[in-house]
Structure 1
Amino acid sequence: MEQTPLEIQLKTLPESPGVYQFFDREGKMLYVGKAKSLKKRVSSYFNKRLENGKTRVLVGKIDSIRHIVVRTESDALLLENNLIKEHQPRYNILLRDDKTYPWLCIKNERFPRIFPTRKRIEDGSEYFGPYTQMRTVRALLDLIRSVYPLRTCNYDLSEEKVAAGKYKKCLEYHLGNCLAPCEGLQDEASYHNQVDDIREIIKGNFGASLTYFRHRMKELAVEMAFEQAQAIKEKIEILENYQAKSTVVNPKIDQVDVFSIVSDPTHAYVNFMQVSHGLVVRSHTMEIKKKLEEADADLLPLAILELRERFNSDTRELYLPFPVSLPEDLKVVVPQKGDKRKLVEFSERNARFYRQDRFKQIRIIDPDRHVKRLMQQMKTDLRLSEEPRHIECFDNSNIQGSNPVAACVVFRDGKPAKKEYRHFNIKTVEGPDDFASMTEVVHRRYRRLLQEGESLPQLIVIDGGKGQLSAALKSLDELSLRGTIAIIGIAKRLEEIYFPGDPIPLYLDKKSETLRVIQQLRNEAHRFGITHHRNRRSKSAISSVLEGIDGIGEKTARDLLRKFKSVKRIRQASVDDLAEVVGPSRARKVYESLRE
């Protein structure tokens, strides 16, 4: 039965935290929700009987689902709030009022106050957050006030009013919580140095504060002021244990469009994020089908213009992963570090997740396209002259030189072809010589394929580094196949890929599909070889038990095993039962020997 697009979307959702959005047939947003696991949460709408009538109506109207992946569940909560405020979906009734999340404000004034607020005022003040709970803000504020003396009054501390003696120090001064800048007892420079340290603490950067307090604690200890030193030590412990709360976006970043791109040989995926007042208000990923081998630098400008027009964006500042040519009225920023760079990485992460989702969907609805894309990717990554539709991988197995065997596994179109797997018992090599064993089995395999007129693989993978690869190349040279079949080796420790004649290995991205296929080949060859080796050792051990009996040879042992299946059953058999297979004289010897 053919699956609907919605069913395919549900199957390919990631397990990551994020925000999901439901849309109807007209493309109108119905609902925004957050999830610790997008796959589990969204699937729950469709996998159980819904008691709530409103939710049943909502599910009945869902035509498509979009999602945005974030780092933490807290980020998902904040992003959900942003999107609801921006789009006000019909079924999100709980957050359509004026409630918003709390921020920590550093007021724009001569001696800045620091306080929590739910309302942002564009007066040049700094806002940090938003935070998911007010108690988080209060705890952070308590931490700051326990470390630094700050004013809490709302007086206008202009130079004129302070010089005129308009204010008198209050109880906070006598409690040690404030140094009375209202009477000029603390200068503006030292106060702002404190604020600079506090700003870094809020961001999670405690280096300067910790260095100062550690130095001060040592000074107090030398002065034998142990109580004061202990108080400083407690402040250090508080700072060290505090973890800066995550935010979706730095609040200073305002009215910005963020773009990123990830691509493969056939398609590119461009993610677009709109940031307004420090909040992500939109995320959308576009899929572009390549017609030639277009570079990312050529595709990204076209996608930017298309997406900005589609979403009516008039933002002048853009954050991009690399420079591109755009109209002169647009300011392009390519951030290298800090919050701006993290925002570009956030966009790239969502583009990658979208790409992975599409791969999963393609496997279901268009497996041929998936295979073609994978083969093209492997051809490019491994510098091959043709697509590796037929791959064979070899692995040796022996324990202390006993029963040496080798395995050859076959993949076609990136999938195991288990009927074509082959075992090899090593015949010409004495002792545990992996290199010589590899030379033997590769020669035997392709000599037979040539003799029988069978098709040869486009790629051979050798489980091992340069030594194993060189051993396999000897056989290809003897069979005049070098250059006809591509061959590589994979070393296990760092997953290096070795090519003939190249001493420098290739390191593929750990998330690369090409590396994943090669690892699967290597692991499958190892598994298949170990299984055969284990079986050989078991049969060898059983045969040696029987052949160790005086008068019992290989043929007699084989006849007994064929009849009774195991040594245990032979041991349990009567003399008459044994005699039916090997005769009365040898039956008596077997019976008595196995019971000694």
Structure 2
Amino acid sequence: MKNVHQNLKEKIDHMPLKPGIYQMKDIEGNIIYVGKSKSLRSRVRSYFYGEHESEKINRMVFHIEDIHYIVTDTHLEAQILECALIKKLQPIYNQQFKNDQRYMYLKIEAYNRFKPLSAVYEKEGHYCLGPFRNKNVLFDTVQFFQNIYPLCKNDHGYEFIYKIFPESIEKEGFEINRNSLIEIFSNKDCMEGFITELQTQMNGFALELRFEMATMYRDMIHHMNYLYHNIHWSKEAENRKLLLGEKIHHGYKLFYISGDRILLKEKLEAPTCQSVEQFLERAQDVEIKNGPIANEKRNLDFKKIIQSEIKDQSQKVLLFLDEEYDLAGFVQLLYNLE
């Protein structure tokens, strides 16, 4: 380990190989970076070996005078804690999670002579989707739908032609276009159908060797898939309730998740059907008392962390509670975890 004073080296060498978060501090005690890891010692040591490709990381490492860490039972808890601390402390070398109030919504306009969609910072009206973290996707989507106006539904899907110079928007045509937009963005099957139409047109441009147009449609397909995932995953998650279990150092950790929010967590040394059932009863009591989300922009980052954990089912057991479930099977699967 290069250029590391002895006290810091000893602290790093004594860090546990467990999940948790670490806080890098400068000579004045300011927290300049917050990170998380499944193995604290391994991750923190990696900062002090060799040169990093990022000049920003090299500058940060140069200014590290002390490191504080917090051990968590699971990587999920480390991710949640990291996100919360970054939002609270706003460390200078962190980028992700700091600027959630810059997240934007995609608004289907009631009537706008210039564009049928717009990207806005605050929720406005009924047909305002989001929030979304990637504002560039929203800006490109707004521009694309302006250039394919008017968008009309037919028996097989949707008709549209891309125009380099957008047409002026008259009110009667605007309403037809708007109804198509509402259908596409609110109905999962309609959105899938529109994406399929984009793919058909992209393939047609490629066959005609019009690669610039094909590339633009390819990018739009990517944007629509991003919107599709965020809109419809969120809708499906609104009423989803599940139990997540993980093996930890001394026992097992249970999480009750509803609407992509952790409402209760508990450590059990030796889970049984009865103890898990009692945990669920306590969790349901918490859910009844739980209020609505106060700040959906801030909460979006926590939802994304939980969604990612739900998708990655390695070394954990999931039990979906909004369908018929086998509690005894869940407990057995917990004991099968290594």
**TM-score after normalising by structure 1:** 0.32
